[in-house]
Structure 1
């Protein structure tokens, strides 16, 4: 009737519509809050929850939830004791495995920490319909028959289609005989990830061919390979051609040398030589053309080798002709990817369907090549360049101008003529659109003149750490005009900043930085990155030898300056590349505890909710452990809810973390390689974990 007020409540919607609404919500905390509204919403939330990650101690069986019967994706890798065996052959472990299968009967995707073979012997029979499995192990492989960790999975899960071993500490010889012994399951695999950081060397030619012969239906293959032709049984072009013949349906092929995952780089004075090699790879261009022609379904290709592959533009032009679906391409040590003729598209720039392009250690990549790429690849959303010593800020700027409507993710790393200031100036055309950015924190001028030794520390009024004399890299004659143009047009750090330094990075959500040991983070906000209103996550990697450094002349690395980012809530602080003395330091040197205090000082001023921290390490003792000053400084982060420490911690230091009022999730990951043979430190003992967890869970936490 007209004039009648009709009140419609959300509960009046049909259950099927409400279920669809609930299914679209993925944030765990939001779903938990929704389930507290009423019993109907509680039931709907539980029936639509498809993914869950269990935390806590496996000994507390009464805490295993039994209401998530619709869960299909379960993560057991976060259960503690961290890194210790989840199950053994005891009656209690059998009961735990049965209880997990009863509580989650619909699981088809499993992530689990496998310290010994007994874990999969007990879990695999409980979920025979598993299709997606990710195995996690941070410690050395136990003395056991080859493939004993994976055999139970292949014996009981006949529908297995995806196997992820990227975080699984194993040997390369474990896989080939295991997959060959189970041909039916191996033939059903469509995704195999073997990008394992723990490997000492990549898969050899015969191992890679045996794996692909056992898995002919693979559509995604990721593996570390031994590309160095100086070794016996290295992976060359003939191996790649045979691989393409074994797996013709590949849509994703990611093959990388073991050195590409280390992330280690030389100090800045050696930038001329970073990533380059005088050796040529054993790749024939005609063979590369045959490989590309054999893989017409490719959508993503990564070939990151350890030696130079020269004059590759003819093969890359054929790649565009034969692989019309190609969207993502990453090339490492590929030279001559463009002919550099009048900046006209050729070579890789003819791949007009590319949305992601990464070029690493290409010795002859120039600004003209960048212009050709921008003209020939108009759909580029992601562009990465690393270790290319001939490109300048002018080339990056012209590429950004052409691609300013599409480019949202950029990485500029380890390029001789691109320090932080010039990189930011070059990215001005996409400053309003970019969402993810990586830069190297190189503050001073790259080619300083003898008469002007001033650097950005002096501009910003920040004292520099005591260091030895730097080598001066001579300026190349061909770049003088471009450098003069940059000096005139690029704003100075300090007093008279140009207009673009004041502009906002309106959509930047993720910022990644590399910085050498001994430099400060303070100038970051002075070079044009101070206005990032929606920045949520920052990753910082510190690298270098602390043993060659003097005692810091300032007390802080500069983390407190990140307080200018109002939305910053997640941080990855990776100091694992900082090497020093963990136990005893010689006279005149400082130990890592002083450096940890320097790196972490001021972190309590940030409003972080999640922190991943890699402590510095002493490689001589194979130790990466949290020190007393670091534990005390982390305890000042009162807003933390999740804390992952990628190393070890003394039990007494762990108790410092109880000062954080709302801390819910804590995990210690001894994920450094080679991992220790025996767990002799208290932080890896089950009793230490139990005592800390009991103290952590006994507190009242406001959610």
Structure 2
């Protein structure tokens, strides 16, 4: 019809269309089309993260009255006591309540219990609460920090403390003091890295008895039998008995929650065994028929776990995600019969960590049995090689799109990437370790026959590498375009370049690299052609102390070959060196930050998260002068999070970035410094920088 436009569509239809758009910038662009789009976009915005200075009441938006999920954890000055920086903290609380009357989900930084005492009264109908605190817990009675939430929000359904610094003894008292609220909780996340001891056996019994209606439970526990109250058979049985409705269960030892990479050469066995029996595991799995997501990372040996894992297939039919740490004997791969974890045919995500006896045959059994896997992670498994992993990937090439390979002695960078070659044109997310050594004879493809499987029906694992039929079982093998003989042996030149294809759908790349190594070999390793790569995460780890002065650059400039790369996380938080304590003749972290960040300005990044290296003699991570100057060269940045401190005059370098709109200094590591030093992270310094940042005329 002539003259008909999108504005003629019914408001209900337009509202449904706008509600399907989740990207914030896209929604903001739509709201600029016309007044009708503006009103409908605001009416369909249900989630909002507020940023800006808490003192600027005039800056709070007034048009998002339909918001139900409100995030106040990013309000600046970040990490300071929210609300209490104002002369009248109740004024801001009432203002928020009036502008967002429908809030049922709240995320807030709680440095002091006063914050919750004020906010909890404003929204008594809160159902979902996430608390954030990286500063040390203030001295108070056990549970006093959490009491306002339990007292005022009787309909509380979700409590997330995964980023909240609390003590173990805070949880049981507040649950016991508020039994009605405790019974209403269905999702409880206590998996915080601030816990050094972890929940003990008695704590688990108390929590599960107080919250019988839990559907999700995440806890950091103590599985070490050398400690009093360690978690063994009894707590596992209590979880199944007290909380039979669980669909998600994550139990991890506190020692496994550190981000530090393990030792690839370790045999995988710990000196102590966990006190967890096969019978207890079977009882746990049998008592949780609704289980969909399970994580058990106990940091101590759980031997001969295969028979218990087989129960998951029969008793937990809905299980889709499984993560195991320090479990041995998960798949014995004897003959052609599937066993252990390979029987869990419904799995879509599988993570195996520190399994000492997992072999190539075990991987192949998993590939044959878990035919729906879209995500696979393997870490710290010494006995697996490129042959087994490549065969498994070939078996799962129709579904597998997310792979993580870390800390495996026989799987360095080139071997890992060659193992992924069968799904290279469809994989979306990859993590590999940048280990350039040992990339010679052991990864020459001509040294062995690689198995590429199109169909595998009742195949014996004993014959997978020999290309034989066994006992009447047969397989159909697909010949690669690079093969030169029927046995799928590959010929290649020394650099292996003719083997590689494009990573057509790779959107996310994660890398671990040791300090002092370079990113430059990444291109020759086979990751040179990633046309749609959007995000990269680089974790640098190691000890700089005693090393020679870095004479070259880390190699960030080679990432310019990825045309769509816009987001980066550069994590040097586990890079240890000298800052204020640098001895004479040693290299300080200033030189190393220059080494890491040199060339970052040549990338077209719009978002950057940067964790500076640390001097463990001081509980402080600070941005150096060279780092501030190099970050200021990123002229396309719109969002910059620095996970540490910085002097105010260093931050002023960033004002030269023309498109920069969102900057935060975040002390999100335990424990965050309590006292301000010089001009670092003071509220006044942050306020002055934000005022200067927002006063500029931003082109976009």
- TM-score, normalised to structure 2's length? 0.92
Aligned to 1:184: 180
Matches within 5 A, 1:163-312: 163-266=159-262, 270-273=263-266, 276-312=269-305
CA 1:90–1:537 in 2, change beyond 3 Å: closer, same or farther?
closer
Encode CA deviations 1:270-325: one digit per residue, 9 max, x unaligned: 52127641221111111111111111110010000111100011101112111111
Structure 1 contact 84–684 (Cα < 8 Å) conserved = no
> In structure 1, how many angstroms separate the alpha carbons of the residues matched to 2:641 and 2:66?
29
Tell whether 2:600 aligns with 1:603: yes
User: Closer, same or farther in 2 for the Cα pair 1:383/1:627, shift >3 Å?
Assistant: same
Q: 2:569 and 2:85 mapped to 1: Cα distance?
A: 37
Q: How does 1:49-68 map to 2 (within 5 A)?
A: 49-68=45-64
> Is contact 2:497–2:524 with CA below 8 Å preserved after alignment?
no
Residues of 1 paired with 2:490 and 2:121: CA distance?
67
Q: Which residue of 1 aligns with 2:551?
A: 553
1:432, CA displacement in angstroms? 1.0
How do residues 250-399 of structure 1 correspond to structure 2 at under 5 angstroms? Answer: 250-266=246-262, 270-273=263-266, 276-342=269-335, 344-399=337-392
Moved more, 643-652 or 669-678: 669-678
Residues 588 and 487 of structure 1: CA distance in aligned 2, closer, same or farther (over 3 Å): farther
| 1:659 corresponding residue in structure 2 | 656
CA contact (8 A) 2:55 2:85 kept: no
Describe the SS at the equivalent of 1:272.
Answer: coil
Gaps of 5+ in 1: 450-479
Note the C-alpha offset of 1:214: 1.1
TM-fit CA distance, 1:613: 0.6
SS at match of 1:271: coil
Deviations 1:574-628 (A, max 9, x none): 0001000011322332001110110000000111111111000011112211100
Aligned to 2:407: 414
Tell me, in whole angstroms, the C-alpha distance in 1 between the residues paired with 2:259 and 2:30: 42
Please name the residue that 1:505 is paired with: 503
Q: Give per-residue Cα distances to partners, 1:112-165, cap 9 Å, x unaligned.
A: 111101111111111111111111111111112222221111111111100111
For 1:392 and 1:37, the matched residues in 2 are separated by 56
> Relative to structure 1, is the Cα distance of residues 481 and 280 closer, same or farther in structure 2, using a 3 angstrom cutoff?
farther
Matched residue, 2:448: none
Distance 2:207 2:522 in 1: 47
Quote the offset at 1:335 in angstroms: 0.3
Q: Distance in 2 between matches of 1:343 and 1:361?
A: 25
Q: Please list, as runs of the form range in 1=range in 2, the aligned pairs for 1:423-434 lying within 5 A after superposition.
A: 423-434=416-427
Q: How big is the alpha-carbon RMSD for the aligned residues of Structure 1 and Structure 2?
A: 2.1
Residue-by-residue CA offset, 1:202-252 (whole Å, 9 max, x unaligned): 111111221111111000011111111100001112211112211111000
Q: Structure 2 vs 1, CA of residues 334 and 78 (structure 1 numbering), >3 Å: closer, same or farther?
A: same
Measure, in 1, the Cα distance between the counterparts of 2:162 and 2:336.
40
Flag the 1:99–1:557 CA change in 2: closer, same or farther, 3 A. Answer: same
Comparing 38-47 with 213-222, greater Cα deviation is found at: 38-47
TM-superposed CA distance for 1:42, in Å, is: 1.3
Larger mean CA deviation between 102-111 and 147-156 belongs to 147-156
Q: Distance in 1 between matches of 2:519 and 2:380?
A: 22
* Alpha carbons 1:611, 1:642 under 8 Å: kept: yes
The whole-number CA distance in structure 1 between the counterparts of 2:155 and 2:87 is 28
Task: Give the secondary-structure state (helix, strand or coil) at the position aligned to 2:569.
Answer: strand
Tell me whether 344-353 or 545-554 shows the greater mean CA deviation. 545-554
| Aligned counterpart in structure 1 of residue 621 of structure 2, from 609, 624, 629 | 624
Query: Judging changes above 3 Å, is the alpha-carbon distance between structure 1 residues 90 and 632 closer, same or farther for their aligned structure 2 residues?
Result: closer
Is the CA contact (8 Å cut-off) linking 2:373 and 2:399 kept in structure 1? yes
Deviation at 1:678, TM superposition (A): 2.6
Query: 1:145 aligns to what?
Result: 141
Which of the numbers 536, 539, 544 marks the counterpart of 1:538?
Answer: 536
Change in CA separation of 1:98 and 1:399 when aligned onto 2, cut-off 3 Å: same
Aligned pairs for 1:518-597 (under 5 A) are: 518-554=516-552, 556-597=553-594
Alpha-carbon spacing, 1:284–1:490, altered in 2? closer, same or farther (3 Å): farther
Alignment: residue pair count: 661
CA distance in 2, matches of 1:257, 1:548: 33
Unpaired runs of at least 5, structure 2: 443-464, 468-484
Post-superposition offset of 1:675: 2.7
Q: Which residue of 1 aligns with 2:456?
A: none
In structure 1, distance between residues paired with 2:107 and 2:638? 22
Contact 2:55 2:86 in 1 (8 A): no
Q: Tell me the secondary structure at the aligned position of residue 682 of structure 1.
A: coil
Shift in CA distance, 160/380, structure 1 to aligned 2, threshold 3 Å: same
